[in-house]
Amino acid sequence: MKKFNLFKEIITVDKNSLQVAIDTQKTFGIDIGGKICHEPFTTDDILIYIGIPDTKAALCEALGRKYQVVEDGSRVLIKAFSNWQEIIGFNTPRATYDDTTGDGVDEFSTKEMEDIGWHAAEFNINYRTLVELLEEKCEGTLICIEQEDPYQFSGLGFISEKKHAAETLFEYCQKEVKRLIEEDEDFAKESLNDDELEAAEFFKAL
């Protein structure tokens, strides 16, 4: 996955396209690539702005005070990190996972991936492990704010190919569950409880 850190990224939008969208006085979005998007938004739309701008305001102020906007010839340059809380709000319904709280990731948005996460927990395979696997092995975008000093991180993950992601998670968990059953006496086949047995069968690990 590629990381899109709003602390570092500047979103470039075509000035004319933005002005046309503003003049419609209808809700529109701006995605991380600077494209103007319209409702209904899809899971491919990772947005840094949704709204109806003030048509009477100057272009550099039209998106609101939490956006830093600079006009540069035919382009408009936008920094959006100050509006992170609202960006979380309008992107979360379409995200694959939410890593914006201190508690970390606790579910996936698709049933297939969530079933894997749910059953994996019976063998102490947590969501953090699965998310790190997704971020290493799968295509997608992690929109976030991240800084080193003091360390701060908050992000939303968008997986491009969810079927491939689910297969990647399943294969990893299947191998790990088989290993635990063979090597860890706490998970020996004869000592599995009903939930662990169900999870092992789910992963076809018996």
Residues 85 and 104 in one domain: no
Per-residue confidence at 186, pLDDT binned at 50, 70, 90?
very high
Residues 192 and 137 in one domain: yes
Q: Return the pLDDT at 103.
A: 84
Domain membership of residue 1 (yes or no) is no
User: How open is the CA angle 171-173-175, to the nearest 5 degrees?
Assistant: 70
Residues 24 and 120 in one domain: no
Residue pair 75/15 in contact (Cβ under 8 Å)? The answer is yes
Residue pair 173/119 in contact (Cβ under 8 Å)? The answer is yes
Segment 176-197 shows an average pLDDT of 96
Nearest to 36 by CA among 54, 56, 63: 63
User: How open is the CA angle 40-46-49, to the nearest 5 degrees?
Assistant: 80
Q: Return the pLDDT at 154.
A: 95
Residues 108 and 154 in one domain: yes
- Tens-place pLDDT, residues 24-36: 999 999 999 999 9
Domain membership of residue 3 (yes or no) is no
- Tens-place pLDDT, residues 48-92: 999 999 889 999 999 999 999 999 999 999 999 999 999 999 999
Last residue of a domain, one of 59, 89, 119: 89
Q: Return the pLDDT at 102.
A: 80
Last residue of a domain, one of 36, 60, 89: 89
Count of domains for the chain: 2
Is the model's pTM score more than 0.85? yes
Q: Return the pLDDT at 150.
A: 87
Q: Return the pLDDT at 149.
A: 86
Host domain of residue 178: 95-202
Task: Kindly tell me the sign of the dihedral angle through the C-alpha atoms of 198, 199, 200, 205.
Answer: positive
Residues 101 and 196 in one domain: yes
User: Across all residues in the chain, what is the average pLDDT?
Assistant: 96
Give the rounded percent of residues in the chain with a pLDDT score beyond 90. Answer: 94
Domain membership of residue 185 (yes or no) is yes
- Tens-place pLDDT, residues 93-138: 999 999 998 888 999 999 999 999 999 999 999 999 999 999 999 9
